[in-house]
Chain A
Amino acid sequence: MTVTDNPVASFHDNDQHPVGFGRMLRKEDPRLIRGKGNFVDDVQLPGMLHLAILRSPYAHAKILGIDVSAAQAHPNVVAVITGADLAEQGLAWMPTLSNDVQAVLATDKVRFQHQEVAFVVAEDRYSARDALELIVVDYEPIDPVMDVRKALEPDAPVIRDDLDGKTDNHCFDWETGDAAATDAAFAKADVVVTEDIVYPRVHPAPMETCGAVANVDQISGQLTLWCTSQAPHAHRTVYALVAGLPEHKIRVIAPDIGGGFGNKVPIYPGYVCAIVASLVIGKPVKWMEDRTENLVSTGFARDYVMRGEIAATSDGKILAVRTNVLADHGAFNGTAAPVKYPAGFFGVFTGSYDLEAAYCNMTAVYTNKAPGGVAYACSFRITEAVYLVERIVDCLAHELDMDPAELRIKNFIQPDQFPYTTKTGWVYDSGNYEPAMRKAMDMIGYDELRREQAEKRERGELMGIGIAFFTEAVGAGPRKDMDILGLGMADGCELRMHPTGKGVLRLSVKTQGQGHETTFAQIVSEELGIPPEDLEVVHGDTDNTPFGLGTYGSRSTPVSGAAAALVARKVRDKAQIIASGMLEVSVADLEWMKGSFQVKGDPEKSVTIQDIAMKAHGAGDLPEGVEGGLEAQICYNPENLTYPFGAYICVVDIDPGTAHVTVRRFVAVDDCGTQINPMIIEGQVHGGLTDGVGMALMEIIEFDELGNCLGGSFMDYLIPTALEVPDWETGHTVTPSPHHPIGAKGIGESATVGSPPAVVNAVIDALKPFGVRHADMPLTPSRVWETMQGNHTPPI
């Protein structure tokens, strides 16, 4: 190992109690390592019932009838509800986050395999499951539309005949960039490379599946919903809009969440079913998915069929990138992205390069697959964008016979070009790409690896070195551009100091493992100079936190992190006025000493923030016009996204006899601007790198022609174990964001975005002796071997 950023030895003598930024052990951990977390399935209420959902065995079928009598007769069953029952209440359909509708329970027909058809509420979870076997549904199968390329053929069965006047499977068209300018750039190019690139459907598969406990108080009408939600406030408002429940009577609590990765952003039919059941029955109702339900019905990711084109001069100056995308959105458009961005932030497909022109044209279609699309730490489709550009740049390097690192460096946006407006209109806030790239190359010993590779090729051994350089766009987002279902993407934050100088910080965002309770305490600690352990972070409960849009798209630090810093500054500003009264000097004569105000030039005269907090609540007069107490609130509207970036290098070895790929090393140099807690940042990166190995080598949600999902359990949906991944080597550079109050950028999804192309590029590099320029994920042994034989086929 060449990196010593976080050697084991350093854990004994690290500073575990910093004031402000730095490595700090997590405030979440003491409960979690004792098994004392409180996850949704841990919630037990008196009289609680259990809900189980009957799902369709068909991908596309008319429902002719449902007989629930046998299920209802089961001694432990309390209720059996069908789509027809919900339709009577006007609850059979619900809006998706993309202004489409989705069936809560199917009424007319089922549109994907495992779609929700009916539910049972029983006294225990075993009986609920048993009763599903007793429901008889009469289906009339319809040909399913499973091949995205055939979805728009004139004779394709129409999936969304629930929509007025719908006569085809077209979902939407979208374009960005300048088609004419791009054509012109291509026309003058010396080299044009075209490649068909598929990013297959994958699934976030957090270890905790989705679930909810709904409890409607029969007297007050108050609904309390414990729910696996990454966005409790947004969920509450949507329930108010869908079910017509008064919003002040809804309390959404997202307790400890066992991983989200985007899977827990949408509202699923199961949540609505639990709410309806509790409303109807008058008792608390729990619904927890099993693993198959999670994999086959909840928010999938990707499913983009892309044609990438790149134009360059013969000496490797990239002129333009063009792409045409066919997007499979499944049976309902459940994309969780800002409404003006139906393709998410795919528009950043121009990558980290200074181009003359770029253009993308996209067609999205409905198929008989589960809905979703934006999930799995994708930063609103930046995974797809970065994969496209980093793959096509490697294809160009292949054609030009140029080193892929040098080709990238030659085309980077230069430091003096920031803020940089891309040809698709994104304003990159800050960047300094070449030092990150060089650092990664130094860490991994790039030149030495190329020499080793050359020697191995002589011997017929297959070794590959893959590079990816990415720029992310995270922290949605400015409310002039970005909203979800009309809700602006700004975040509230409240800070209240207690008289003794301790404080409580209330966040709208919600950790699913990212460590908000620690990171956000550190942000306020940095601003107020008090120990992070003196700050309690409250989050995940809509009754006790200000409104905000939630944690996804790496937005917590860029948006709520800024809010936390600014709310602390508001408190500090008020504290300064109180201090001026305490020290009997003017506000301007005070200087902030990270924890205390001191009279300029007189270190003997100072008051601590704790003294000030007591004064704010204590006896005696305050300066004129100052109210008592020391607290503030804010709603932060970001002026721009933040643009973290990184340089990743992966080394793989392929067994020439079996085509089995081993990831030998992986170096990740990330730049997320100012670092708040390097330990947590490193952890975020490690997890994302593992995702990348998974997607590149093994993860896929496949379907057969009949619409059967082939990846419906962890026997078939393979996630890397400790044996498939190397000991991660990480480094960083620091290029602060100019518009974020502390210069921080998001980091949660960088590695998931950046690592798949690094792994794939490494495999393709290893296969260079076979003349291979591209192969699609997942690069299973069989797919690699077939590629070596010249028989590569796309996975979909």
Chain B
Amino acid sequence: MQVPAPFEYERATSVDHAIALLERLGSEARLVAGGHSLLPMMKLRFATPEYLIDINDLHDELGYIRVEGDEFRIGAMTRHRELLESDELAAAFPIFRDAEKVIADPVVRNRGTLGGSLCQADPAEDLSAVCTTLDASCVIRSSDGERVLTMHEFHRGPYETAVEDAQMLTEIRIPIRPNGSSAYEKVERRAGDWAIVSAGAAVWMDGETISDARVGLAAVGPNTTGIGAISEALRGQVPTEELYATAGGLAAEASRPSADSRGTEAYKRHLADELTRRALRRSVARITGTNGQEA
């Protein structure tokens, strides 16, 4: 079987230690958490870092899901399985459990982390779409201190983030807003595959009308992206099938998919539309207590 090229292994014992190691070892050092993206790339020799800093011992420090003030704070080392199993998170943001059920497979979910997923910055990565949908912010720490970035700022392009040398993503913050819910829809060729397309939606209501809504898509362009036009079109409206269709149409319009073995451009654009409708419909149903099935 394929094996990685040689590297020096270091094990970090704290966030500060990890950052100190990154500072000392320079740009040829990489952090490894769950390793399910990085190690296969290293085995195929697409990635050949000189140093690998194992941050799994930071799980005690960075593996948490807690509420502070008006936001959820999730540590970057929180594993997929913990995100899936957190009832508190599912109650506030059902989109997380929707997504986690269909991310990779249960064995991979035992190891893979939130931070690792976001830092991979794969345009088809699900948690990036979830975080985009929820207007999450990312906390990046260095020896100089912390900075907090929006998802838009965090993802600079495919496989490229705002995390620079000697910095690490430590936490995700998600604002808690009343009267809202969320949902995630994904179509894949087979369980465990990357999304052909997926769509997340978050909706907040004020009585009968939508006070705010956000949609985040994966696998339809260079980045998982929120679509501002959809938010604008939905605010102040009463949710109807026509409104979802409008939103779906905007999603398709905003999509820039490319054809590959997962699907044609036209199909992916269609899915952006269809899955946006479904995610919105289910989000609203979760608020209003209806079943969310298509009329």
Residue ranges of A at the interface with B (Cβ–Cβ < 8 Å) = 125-126, 129-130, 133, 288, 290-292, 657-660, 698, 702, 710-711, 715-716, 718, 720-721, 723-724, 780-782, 785-786, 789, 791
Contacts and interface: CB of A to CB of B under 8 A. Distances in A.
Interface in B190-216: 190-193, 196
Given A125-B3, A133-B45, A781-B196, A724 B191 contact: yes
Contacts, number: 64
B190 A782 contact: no
Interface size on B, as a range, is 20 to 34
B267 A782 contact: yes
Main secondary structure of the interface of B (DSSP, over half): loop
A780 B189 contact: yes
Contact of B263 (A698, A720, A780): A780
Contact of A130 (B6, B44, B105, B190): B6
Closest 6 CB pairs of A and B: A782-B263, A723-B191, A782-B267, A657-B274, A718-B190, A290-B1
B278 interface: yes
B18 interface: no
Contacts of A130: 5-6
A180 to B, nearest CB: 44
A291 B263 CA distance: 24
A698 B189 contact: yes
B267 A718 contact: no
Given A657-B278, A782-B264, A785-B267, A129 B2 contact: yes
Contacts of A723: 191
B267 A126 contact: no
10 contacts: A126-B3, A288-B1, A290-B2, A658-B271, A716-B261, A780-B189, A781-B187, A781-B196, A782-B196, A782-B268
Contacts of A660: 187
Contacts of B264: 782, 786
Contacts of B196: 781-782
A710 B262 CA distance: 11
B238 interface: no
Contact of A721 (B187, B191, B261, B274): B191
B270 interface: yes
Interface string B252-295: 00000000011110111011001100100000000000000010
A710 B261 contact: yes
Given A657-B278, A721-B192, 13 more contacts: A130-B6, A133-B5, A657-B274, A698-B190, A710-B261, A711-B261, A716-B261, A721-B191, A724-B190, A782-B196, A782-B262, A782-B267, A786-B267
Contact of B187 (A658, A698, A711, A715): A658
Contacts of B45: 133
Contacts of B266: 786, 789, 791
B235 to A, nearest CB: 26
Contacts of A291: 1-2
B1 A721 contact: no
Contacts of A781: 187, 189, 196, 263, 267
Contacts of A720: 190
A57 to B, nearest CB: 13
Interface in B29-60: 44-45
Contacts of B261: 702, 710-711, 716
Contacts of B189: 698, 718, 780-781
Contacts of A718: 189-190, 193
A177 B275 CA distance: 52
Contacts of A785: 263, 267, 270
Contacts of A715: 193
Nearest to A128: B3
Among A288, A292, A657, A791: residue with most chain B CB under 10 A:
A657
A126 B43 CA distance: 11
A264 B193 CA distance: 28
Interface in B85-119: 105
A129 B3 contact: yes
Contacts of B6: 130
A721 B104 CA distance: 12
A782 B274 CA distance: 13
B247 to A, nearest CB: 15
A295 to B, nearest CB: 13
Contacts of A126: 3
B203 to A, nearest CB: 19
A718 B5 CA distance: 27
B3 A292 contact: no
Contacts of A659: 267
B184 to A, nearest CB: 14
A721 B190 contact: yes
B36 to A, nearest CB: 12
Interface string B153-185: 000000000000000000000000000000000
Nearest to A126: B3
Contacts of B5: 130, 133
Contacts of B105: 721
Nearest to B192: A721
A217 B2 CA distance: 30
Among A290, A292, A715, A781: residue with most chain B CB under 10 A:
A781
A782 B189 CA distance: 9
Among B196, B278, B294: residue with most chain A CB under 10 A:
B196
Contacts of A698: 189-190
Nearest to A718: B190
A380 B187 CA distance: 36
A724 B262 CA distance: 17
Contacts of B192: 721
B249 to A, nearest CB: 14
A626 B190 CA distance: 65
A716 B189 CA distance: 10
A130 B42 CA distance: 12
A710 B196 CA distance: 16
A187 B266 CA distance: 42
Nearest to B278: A657
A125 B43 CA distance: 13
A615 B190 CA distance: 62
Nearest to A711: B261
Nearest to A780: B189
Among B189, B268, B278: residue with most chain A CB under 10 A:
B189
Nearest to B275: A658
Nearest to A716: B261
B44 to A, nearest CB: 8
A720 B264 CA distance: 22
B112 to A, nearest CB: 15
B267 A292 contact: no
A46 to B, nearest CB: 23
Interface string B51-81: 0000000000000000000000000000000
Nearest to B43: A290
Among B45, B190, B191, B266: residue with most chain A CB under 10 A:
B190
A125 B268 CA distance: 42
B221 to A, nearest CB: 17
A205 to B, nearest CB: 14
B191 A658 contact: no
A789 B262 CA distance: 17
Among A658, A716, A723, A789: residue with most chain B CB under 10 A:
A658
A782 B219 CA distance: 14
Contacts of B1: 288, 290-291
Interface string B1-24: 111011000000000000000000
B37 to A, nearest CB: 11
A129 B48 CA distance: 14
Nearest to B271: A658
A658 B274 contact: yes
A235 to B, nearest CB: 24
B101 to A, nearest CB: 11
